[in-house]
Every structure is written in C-alpha cells, then in structure tokens.
Structure 1
Amino acid sequence: MKQLKPNSKYLLYGQALSFMGDYCVLPALLILSTYYHDYWVTSGVIVVRSIPMVFQPFLGVLVDRLDRIKIMLWTDIIRGIIFLGLTFLPKGEYPLIFLALLFITYGSGVFFNPARLAVMSSLESDIKSINTLFAKATTISIIVGAAAGGLFLLGGSVELAVAFNGVTYLVSAFFISRIKLQFVPIQSENIKEAFQSFKEGLKEIKTNSFVLNAMFTMITMALLWGVVYSYFPIVSRFLGDGEIGNFILTFCIGFGGFIGAALVSKWGFNNNRGLTYFTVLSIVSLALFLFTPIFAVSVIAAILFFIAMEYGEVLAKVKVQENAANQIQGRIFSVAEASIGLCISIGSMFINILSAPVIMGLIVVIVCGLFLHTKLVNKSFLERDNKTEQKGVF
C-alpha cells in the first residue's frame, strides 16, 4: 500500500468508500421498498439496479472519447446528490419517483465502471497492485458497509444508511478530483462497430462449447441472485421486526464470497468434484433460504449460497480466459454483463408471479441442466488435454 503512487491511492480510497456505501444502502433500499406494501416495488429496486448493465457493453464508445476522470467525478457527484435527496422522500409515498431516482443513479453508474477500468489501466507499474488491493477492498467494504447500515438502523433511522451512501459518493468524488492523469482522447469504434463487436461475441459463445458453458453458468447464477435478493425482506421478517435482518444477510454476501474465493483452489477447475459441490450447495442453500422459518438457518444458507456463487463466478471467468482468444474475450464479457443484468432483473420478478415451490422447481431444473452440460464440457476438456499430452510425448 505504501508503495502505491498518489493517483493509485486516491482511486483506491474513493472506490473502497463508494463500495462500502453501495452495500450499506442496498438493504436500506429493500427495507424502504416494503413501506409501499407492494412487492413489485421491491422487485423494481432490484430491476433498476440491474437493468442498466444491459447497456454497459456499448458505453465504451463514449468513455474512450471523453475524459475518464471527469466521467467518474460527475457520476459520483450526481449519485451522491440523488441519494441524499432520497432521504427527504416520505416513506411509502411516490413509488414511481422513488424508482425513477434510483434508475438515474444506477443508470449513471454504468458509465463509471468502464471509466474506472480505463483509469486503472493507466496506472502503469501499480496495475497489478491496485487490482489485487481492489479485490480485497471489495470484500471488506461489503462487510463493513452492511455492518454500518445495521448500526444506523439500530440507531433509529434507515434513512441514515441512504444518506451515508450519498456522502461516500461525494467523498469518493473528492478523491477522484485529486487524480492527475493527462487526458488523451481515443478514437474508438462507432456505435455500429460496437454492435458488430457484440454480435461477434455472441457468435463465439454459440460456437465454442467451453465459452457457452461459462455463459450458461453466469446467467444461471444471475437468476439465482435475483431470486435471493427479492427474498431478503421476507426472510428478514423471521428476526424480530425484520429490518435489521436485511443488513445481516448483506453481510453474508461479503463473508460467503470471501470463503468461496479461498475455496476455489481447493475445489479445483474443470473437475466433477467442484461441479458437484457447486450444484449441491446452490440447490440446498436456496431451498433452505426460501423455506426455513428460522432466521439463523437462513443466515447459514445465505453464506453457503454466496460461497457457491463466488466459486461459480471464478470458474466461469477462467473458462472464458482459458478457452477463448484474447482479442475476443472483451466482447464475450460484454455479452455476459448485459445478460447478467437482464437475468438478475428477471429472477427478482419471479416472487410476484410464481409461488416459492414453483420457483424452487424451476431453479432445480436449470441448475441440474447446468450440471449435465458442465459435466460434458469437463469431459471434453480432459480429452483435449490428454490429446495435447500425447502429441507432446511423440
């Protein structure tokens, strides 16, 4: 950390604070949505948070032509002001304004990530260090943010968690304003070329079984994430007044993800053992989460679920990185980002149109389908490796 240059430190400080606010406000927004006494509003919170990701693959066209620092700065300022403004909106009133303001904040946020990644690539010798520290800071920020939100709620006001998120964005903007990088505009592809790149990513997914399996894994997990997020307020009711439970469950995201990341090397890649652990954990943990009336069991189920999701995410990314040409990977991940945002939104709406047993049955079918497809792909992977080794011998 001490070896980092000032620009890298400012970026890391700002992002750590911003991420902390994100996971402090997520359960707070789910709590506020319950005051509308209409579960479509709760699903709407998840949808407006996720659906802007659909457009993210095409935003690199704009980001490469504009000053990335200014994009990050103004995005954080806009988000900070809107979240502070949300605290003045009466609870349970004006649901369309509530969702519209959230859509603006999360919609502007999709400009931030491409700009941040571009800035990180300009940090020269600090690139590896900042990426490693950013990954660690993400997990810690989720845990600390959820804990901070819980304390605000215990202090008597869920709005404080929303205000805290707004403040973290404004503080992040202050750190970003101190980053000194010379802006060099890049004449990137136009909109037509961006769509062509997107189509090339789709073509690679269709023709490469390994990449197709990675995509299948990512959209399956996105559906599961949407379902679990939508059930946070319901599961939280099993703990007293229920509201603090949302923060505890959000804490489980970071804790489970931390354990899942540590288990990746032990469970292995492209083998049936890891696949079996992932499948069993996903189904069993989700069933417990949806059906148990005991909050302590729900917490354990949530941790197990997020362990499986972290493992699956790493597996899917590595499968793309190992089995697709480097020049096409960005396009594949662009398609993945758009699909993930769409599938989280779809998963979050199941609760409004399907009963819990039907949702669970649907998830079992999808996850079992993923299990069978992955098993076939793993077999192909081993056969390909064996052929490569035999050629090496001769």
Structure 2
Amino acid sequence: MSQANRTTKLNKDAKLLLVSQSASFMGDYCVLPAILILATYYGNYWVVSGVLVVRSIPMIFQPFLGVFVDKFERKVIMFWTDIIRGLCFLALFFLPEGEFPLLFLGLLFVSYASGVFFNPARLSLMANLGVDVKRINTLFALATTLCIIFGASFGALFLFLMGSVKAAVLFNALSYLLPAALVLMIKAESPKIDSVGFRAHMQSFKRGLLEIKGNAYVRNAVYLMMTMATMCGVAYSFYPSVSEGFIDGEVGNFILTVALGVGGFIGAKSVERWGFQSQVGITLFYILSLASILCFIYSPTFMFAMLAATVFYMAMEFGEVIAKVRVHESTTNDIQGRIFAVSEALIGLCLSLGALFINLFSLPVIAGIIGLMIIALAVQSRSLRHMTDKEQHSGSAPGV
C-alpha cells in the first residue's frame, strides 16, 4: 500500500494490534523483575545470569527468521507465538519456587525463542494496516515506554497485596493468552512477499557485515549499540543485589524497572533538546553512561541506585537514537535493513556477555571493562569527527 493512501488516524486493525501489544508489553515488564527474583530463590547467581542469557540469546537468530516468516500468514504466527509464550509462563506459575532450575530456564528459553518470530511478523503486518508507518511506530514506541512503567508498577502492587511474585508471572501469562484472540480479529491481509530463500538471505546478511566493515560511520554506530547492550546486560544482572538495599528487596526490583521506563522517556525527550548532531549531547552521553552505570553497581543506598538507573536508561535511550540515525544518514535505504539485522544479532550476544560479568569478574574489573569500552567509543567518535571535517571540506561527508 502506497504512503499516499495511508491515514494518520488509527483504523480498527491498527487499534486491535496496538491494544494487544500494549497488554503484552505490560506483561513483559511486569514479569521481568519477577523472574529475576524467582531466580534468586535457587541460591546460585548463575541462574540469575542464566535468565538474562536465555532472554537475549534468541535475539541472535532473529535476523535469519525473515525467510521463515515470509512463508506463512503473519497473524497465525503472531497468534501461536503468543499462545506458546502464555503457556510457558503458565507452567512457570505452577513450578515450585527454587526447584528444577533447568526446567525454569528451559521454559523461559522456549518462551523467548518463540517470541523472536513475533516481531518480524508484526512489523511485516504493520505495513499493511493502511496507517502511516511513522504514526503507528511512534505510538508503539510511546506504548512501550508507558507499559514499562505501568507493568513494573503492577508487579510491585501484586507483590505488596499478595506477598508473592507469582502473581506477576500469572499476569504475564494472561497478557499473552487473552490478546492472542485480538490478533485473529485483524482483517488486514499479510503482505505478499516472494521468499528469497535461505542462501540469498545469508548473502544479504553478509552484505550487511561488509558494509559495517567498510563504512567507518556505520562501524561506529554498531559499536555504540554493542557497548550499550553490554552495559544493559551488566545493569540487569545487578538488579537483585542492588534491590536488597530497599526496605523490601523484592519490591526494589520492580521500582528499578520503573526507573527504566522513566529514564527512557526522558532520554527520548532529550534527543529533541540536544539533537543527535550536538557535540554537547554526545559528550554528555559518554559522561552520563559511564558515571551512572558505575554509581549503580557501587551504590551505597537503594535511592541513589534508583536515581543512577534513571540517568543510565536516559543515556541509553539517547544513545540508541544516535546510533540509528547514524546508520540512516550514512547508508542507502537498500542496505539499512541488513545492517540492523546484523546489529540485532550482536546486541543479543553482548547482552548475554554483559549479564555474565557479575559471575566472572570483580566489581573493579567490571568497572574497568566498561570504562575502556566507553573510552574506545569516544576515541573512535573523535577520529570520525576529524574525518567528517575533512570530507565536509571536500564536499563528500555523509552528514554524520
């Protein structure tokens, strides 16, 4: 459907998709602190890191799923992935606390692995809803931010009223199972796409790798995304230990997740103020990223950690916009999808690695690794600025 025939007003199909996904988003961020808390009941911090690993590893394979998704009706894929995820969390609800760690992680892995089929199908279907793509993507981004805040708040409320995080797990199961029916009510047809085959898809993926290797601006953007993913993995892994400083340590996990949503909202707004080309904004990103993550993991009090987490996620949101815009401004449209596909795989890998640091290294070593990554990023960006100045002088700069 051409952009000329699209409307900025949401039609029934768009509303159904937005409502169903808002419910699922809310469940996602209601249950994230809950499963981290449940992981601590096993008395082994490797299980906590394992939660983050099984949550992130499936992202590595997401770029290769387009070939599969193109062969089936998108609404059917979305329906069944929601059902599978709902049943997995329903099984977790009945699983005895602190028992069967491999089953605990296995159910989470199946849930998150099935979830990676959902996003390609959703993004593909969104293109056929008859609504302006920018409009619906903006609304989805806003819904995600709000659902992080409300979902985590509901989780804390469930814990306060019922005395158990299992209520959050049940809420998440229902947030998949009930909205699944709404997906089948969508009337829009899935776009007709001729599948290119796995071999051609791998060639496309390879082209993305070559562009990253040969384009210094894109390489900088991808390294920025990898650095942020590693830091986010570290931050998530410290949730349970940092939350122990709160009056009720378990509620503290939910409060930190609320800080994620609030920080992300502020970060999105800060882009409008500073702009991705502002050297002041980019310099603040480096300083705030490093300072906030170090304050978070070394925090003497929970309230200080919550403030640090808010600043950290604000910086992460700002950095994400910088990275994405840098890719858009430095490449042609036909290659951008391939670059983001490679980035998704690298982000999943770096999230997993960051989550393991807490088990492998001491705090000073973790702080040192993060510091070196930020310094390397700053040095790389500085060299790019010099290169940009030269290219602008010669009239060939890509606008980064």
TM-score bracket for this pair, using the shorter chain length:
over 0.9
Query: Aligned to 1:37, what secondary structure does the other structure show?
Result: coil
Where does residue 210 of structure 1 map in the other structure? 217
CA positional deviation for 1:269: 2.0
Residue among 13, 17, 28 paired with 1:22: 28
Cα deviations across residues 169-218 of structure 1 (Å, max 9, x unaligned)?
A: 11220211110123454222211111111111010001000000000100
**Are 1:129 and 2:141 counterparts?**
no
Code of the aligned partner of 1:315 = I
CA positional deviation for 1:268: 2.3
**Are 1:249 and 2:256 counterparts?**
yes
CA positional deviation for 1:295: 0.5
**Are 1:176 and 2:183 counterparts?**
yes
Where does residue 3 of structure 2 map in the other structure? none
Cα deviations across residues 337-379 of structure 1 (Å, max 9, x unaligned)?
A: 0000000000000000101111001100111110111122133
**Are 1:154 and 2:160 counterparts?**
yes
Measured in 2, the distance between the counterparts of 1:353 and 1:125 equals 48
Query: Aligned to 1:124, what secondary structure does the other structure show?
Result: coil
Whether contact under 8 Å (1:201, 1:332) holds in the other structure is: yes
Code of the aligned partner of 1:287 = L
Number of residues of Structure 1 aligned to a counterpart in Structure 2: 390
Residue 351 and residue 307 in structure 1: after superposition, are their counterparts in 2 closer, same or farther (change >3 A)?
Answer: same
**Are 1:228 and 2:244 counterparts?**
no
Cα deviations across residues 12-38 of structure 1 (Å, max 9, x unaligned)?
A: 000111001000000000000000000
Q: Which runs of 5+ in 1 are unaligned?
A: none
Measured in 2, the distance between the counterparts of 1:334 and 1:316 equals 14
Whether contact under 8 Å (2:60, 2:346) holds in the other structure is: yes
Measured in 1, the distance between the counterparts of 2:278 and 2:218 equals 16
Measured in 1, the distance between the counterparts of 2:25 and 2:124 equals 18
Where does residue 327 of structure 1 map in the other structure? 334
Where does residue 81 of structure 2 map in the other structure? 75
Measured in 1, the distance between the counterparts of 2:185 and 2:122 equals 14
Measured in 1, the distance between the counterparts of 2:299 and 2:109 equals 33
Q: Percent identity?
A: 53
Where does residue 11 of structure 1 map in the other structure? 17
Whether contact under 8 Å (1:28, 1:149) holds in the other structure is: yes
**Are 1:277 and 2:284 counterparts?**
yes
CA positional deviation for 1:85: 1.5
Code of the aligned partner of 2:79 = L
Larger mean CA deviation between 271-280 and 241-250 belongs to 271-280
**Are 1:260 and 2:260 counterparts?**
no
CA positional deviation for 1:275: 2.0
**Are 1:32 and 2:42 counterparts?**
no
CA positional deviation for 1:272: 2.7
Code of the aligned partner of 1:182 = E
Cα deviations across residues 39-64 of structure 1 (Å, max 9, x unaligned)?
A: 00000000000000000000000111
**Are 1:379 and 2:399 counterparts?**
no
Q: Which runs of 5+ in 2 are unaligned?
A: 1-6
Cα deviations across residues 274-310 of structure 1 (Å, max 9, x unaligned)?
A: 2210111011111111112200000010001001100
Where does residue 138 of structure 1 map in the other structure? 144
User: How high is the TM-score relative to the length of structure 1?
Assistant: 0.96
Where does residue 291 of structure 1 map in the other structure? 298
Structure 1 segment 192-203 matched on structure 2, within 5 A: 192-203=199-210
Residue 275 and residue 2 in structure 1: after superposition, are their counterparts in 2 closer, same or farther (change >3 A)?
Answer: closer
Code of the aligned partner of 1:174 = A
Whether contact under 8 Å (2:205, 2:338) holds in the other structure is: yes
Measured in 1, the distance between the counterparts of 2:173 and 2:393 equals 54
**Are 1:339 and 2:346 counterparts?**
yes
User: How high is the TM-score relative to the length of structure 2?
Assistant: 0.95
Measured in 1, the distance between the counterparts of 2:11 and 2:185 equals 12
Code of the aligned partner of 1:314 = V
Measured in 1, the distance between the counterparts of 2:210 and 2:195 equals 22
Whether contact under 8 Å (1:270, 1:381) holds in the other structure is: no
Measured in 2, the distance between the counterparts of 1:126 and 1:150 equals 36
Structure 1 segment 61-140 matched on structure 2, within 5 A: 61-140=67-146
Whether contact under 8 Å (2:92, 2:104) holds in the other structure is: yes
Where does residue 311 of structure 2 map in the other structure? 304
Measured in 2, the distance between the counterparts of 1:131 and 1:184 equals 18
Measured in 2, the distance between the counterparts of 1:96 and 1:209 equals 42
Where does residue 4 of structure 2 map in the other structure? none
Measured in 1, the distance between the counterparts of 2:135 and 2:191 equals 24
Code of the aligned partner of 2:23 = L
Cα deviations across residues 134-189 of structure 1 (Å, max 9, x unaligned)?
A: 11111001000010000011111200001000101112202111101234542222
Query: Aligned to 2:395, what secondary structure does the other structure show?
Result: helix
Cα deviations across residues 203-243 of structure 1 (Å, max 9, x unaligned)?
A: 00010000000001000000000000000000000012310
Code of the aligned partner of 1:78 = I
Measured in 2, the distance between the counterparts of 1:113 and 1:154 equals 33
Query: Aligned to 1:125, what secondary structure does the other structure show?
Result: coil
Residue among 53, 59, 63 paired with 1:57: 63
